[in-house]
Structure 1
Amino acid sequence: TADFDTFTQPAPAKAWAAARDGLVAVKADGLARGKGVIVCSGVKESDAAIEAMLVENRFGKSGATVVVEERLEGPELSLLGVTDGTEVIALAPARDFKRAHDGDVGPNTGGMGAYSPPLAVGESVVRDVVSTVLIPAVKELAAGGHEFRGVLYAGVMLTKDGVRTLEFNARFGDPEAQVVLPRLETDFVALALASAKGSLASFPPLRWTDRPCVGIVVASGHYPDEAGMQIGFPIRGLAEMPRGVLIFHAGTRFEPGRGLVTDGGRVVTSVALGDTVAQARETALSGARQVRFEGAFYRTDIAEEAVTA
Structure 2
Amino acid sequence: MNILLLGSGGREDALAWRLRQSPSCDSLLAAPGNPGIARWAECVAIDPTSPEAVVALAQERGVDLVVVGPEAPLVAGVADACRAARIAVFGPNAAPAQLEGSKGFTKDLCAEHGIPTADYVRVETASDALAALHRFTIPVVIKADGLAAGKGVTVALTRDEAERAIQAAGDGPMVIEEFLEGEEASLFALVDGEVAVPLASAQDHKRVGEGDTGPNTGGMGAYSPAPVLTPELERRAMEEIVLPTARAMASRGTPFSGVLYAGLMLTAEGPKLIEYNVRFGDPECEAIMPRIEGDFAELLMAVASGRLGATEPPVLSDETTMTVIIAAEGYPGTPKKGGLIDEIEPAEQVEGVTVFHAGTARHASGALLSVGGRVLAVTAKAPNLARARARAYRAVDAIRFADGFHRRDIGWRELERSAGELAK
What is the TM-score with the length of structure 1 in the denominator? 0.91
Correspondence for 2:167: 51
**Distance in 2 of aligned mates of 1:9 and 1:92:** 38
Does the 8 Å contact 2:187/2:198 carry over to 1?
A: yes
Amino acid at match of 1:136: P
Q: Secondary structure at the match of 1:91?
A: strand
* Residue in structure 2 matching 1:195, options 303, 313, 317: 303
Q: Residue 208 of structure 1: CA displacement?
A: 1.9
2:209 corresponds to 1:93: no
Distance 1:282 1:169 in 2: 30
- Provide the residue aligned with 1:61 in structure 2: none
Q: Which residue does 2:230 correspond to in 1?
A: 122
Post-superposition offset of 1:151 = 1.1
Instruction: Report the residue type matching 1:239 in the other structure.
Output: E
- The amino acid across from 1:158 in the alignment is L
Alignment-derived partner of residue 13 in structure 1: 129
User: SS where residue 268 of structure 1 aligns?
Assistant: strand
Question: Residues of 1 paired with 2:266 and 2:285: CA distance?
Answer: 20
Consecutive unaligned residues in structure 2, runs of 5 or more: 1-116, 418-424
Partner residue of 2:338? 232
> Could you tell me whether the CA contact under 8 Å between 1:85 and 1:138 is conserved in 2?
yes
Q: Among 259, 270, 273, which residue is 2:367 paired with?
A: 259
Deviations 1:158-191 (A, max 9, x none): 1112211111111111111111121111321221
CA deviation profile, 1:15-46 (whole Å, cap 9, x unmatched): 43344343111111121211111111111211
Distance in 2, Cα, partners of 1:39 & 1:221 = 24
Q: How does 1:215-294 map to 2 (within 5 A)?
A: 215-225=323-333, 228-241=334-347, 242-257=350-365, 259-294=367-402
Aligned: 1:106 with 2:106: no
Q: Aligned equivalents of 2:295 and 2:223: distance in 1?
A: 21
**Which residue of structure 2 aligns with residue 30 of structure 1?**
146
Q: Distance in 2 between matches of 1:17 and 1:71?
A: 13
Select 1:172's aligned residue among 280, 286, 291: 280
- State, as a whole percentage, how many aligned pairs show the same letter: 38
Residue 217 of structure 1, CA deviation: 0.6
| Matching residue's letter, 1:276 | N
Residue 18 of structure 1 contacts residue 43 of structure 1 at CA under 8 Å; is this kept in 2? no
Secondary structure (helix, strand or coil) at the match of 2:388 reads helix
Q: Give the distance between the partners of 1:180 and 1:157, measured in 2 at CA.
A: 20
Distance of 2:395 and 2:183 partners within structure 1: 27
The count of residues paired between Structure 1 and Structure 2 equals 299
Mapping for residues 131-146 of structure 1, pairs under 5 Å: 131-146=239-254
Distance 1:9 1:201 in 2: 43
How far off is 1:204 after superposition?
A: 1.9
Match of 2:180? 72
Change (3 A) 1:12 1:149: closer
Is the Cα contact below 8 Å between 1:114 and 1:302 reproduced in 2? Answer: yes
* Contact 1:22/1:45, CA 8 A, preserved across alignment: no
- Alpha-carbon distance in 1 for matches of 2:415, 2:294: 28
Cα separation, 1, equivalents of 2:144 and 2:222? 24
Following superposition, the deviation at residue 229 of structure 1 comes to 1.7
Q: AA paired with 1:33?
A: A
Aligned to 2:80: none
Query: Which blocks of at least 5 consecutive residues in structure 1 are unaligned?
Result: 56-63
Map Cα deviations across residues 91-148 of structure 1 (whole Å, 9 max, x no partner): 1211111111111100011111111111332211111111111111111221122122
Q: Map 1:154-173; keep pairs closer than 5 Å.
A: 154-173=262-281
Q: Name the structure 2 match of 1:301.
A: 409
Which structure's residues are more often helix, by fraction?
2
**Residues 107 and 100 of structure 1: CA distance in aligned 2, closer, same or farther (over 3 Å):** same
- Cα deviation per residue 1:241-290 (whole Å; 9 max; x = unaligned)? 13321111111111211521111311111101111110001111122223
CA distance in 1, matches of 2:298, 2:260: 17
Q: 1:149 to 1:9 in 2, by over 3 A?
A: closer
Decide which of 255, 259, 264 is 1:151's aligned counterpart.
Answer: 259
Letter in 2 for 1:87: V
* Residues 322 and 392, structure 2, Cα contact 8 Å, conserved in 1: yes
**Separation (CA, whole Å) in 1 of partners of 2:341 and 2:135:** 48
